[in-house]
Every structure is written in structure tokens, then in C-alpha cells.
Amino acid sequence: KQEVTQIPAALSVPEGENLVLNCSFTDSAIYNLQWFRQDPGKGLTSLLLIQSSQREQTSGRLNASLDKSSGRSTLYIAASQPGDSATYLCAVSSGYGQNFVFGPGTRLSVLP
């Protein structure tokens, strides 16, 4: 049974800092991994999707890496801004059309 954990549970940084969020999964036989952002009272927003054959994906100030063999993914946020404050979740899928298993999320606060 796939289990996904994320550390830290919460993170508070001053504006402008670069930061890394970590995601670990127990079963390395994944199909893809996705990072989401959740804002209070709003739906989740998909940030990056990494297929199992890929090692990283980039979108603007965000970079996500995937190391399947070690069961880890990191989300790197460059030059953080207060607008980045949200909860970040990672989710892994075990197969095409298979459901995602979500981690508990990391709550990020970027202080102005």
C-alpha cells in the first residue's frame, strides 16, 4: 500500500528566500507524481506533473525533481513571495488511470 509523507509539515520563511519542500513515497513503482497547491477555501491547483520516466519538471520559479529509486521528490521554489503562501501537496499514482495517493501537505508561509 502506497504511503506518502511530506516534510516539513509547516514552514515559515522571509520573502525572497529559496526553499525546498520534500515528499517521500514508500512504493517506488509509481506512474507519475504531481505537486498541487491548496489555498484556504479554494480548490487545489495542479503545479507540476512528473512522469515516472522524467527526473524533473520546471514551471516559472518552481522546479520539481523525482528520484524514483529512493522514493523522493522535491519541490524547489525560487525567490519566494508572499503570494506563494499556501499548502503544497504531492500525490503519486501507481498506474495509468489509477488514483492518486496524497501526502498531508506542507503549509508554507512567506512573510513580507
Which residues bind to other proteins, rule: CB under 8 A?
A: 32, 34, 36, 41-46, 49, 87, 89, 91, 93, 96-100, 102-105
Q: For the CB of residue 23, give the shortest distance to other proteins in the complex, in Å.
A: 14
CB of 52 to other proteins, least distance (A): 12
> 44 vs 62, which CB is nearer to other proteins?
44
> What cell was used for 106?
506542507
Distances (CA, A) of 100 to 14, 32, 58: 32, 9, 21
The distance of closest approach from Cβ of residue 38 to other proteins in the complex, given in angstroms and rounded to an integer, is 8
Query: Is 89 or 110 the residue whose CB approaches other proteins more closely?
Result: 89
Q: Which helix (H) or strand (E) is 47 found in, with range?
A: strand 44-51
Q: Which residue, 3 or 17, is less far from other proteins as judged by CB?
A: 3
Residue 84 DSSP SS3: helix
At its nearest, how many Å lie between other proteins and the CB of residue 79? 26
Closest to 94 measured CA to CA, from 46, 34, 27, 23: 27
Phi-psi region of 16 (alpha: psi -120 to 50; beta: other; left: phi over 0): left
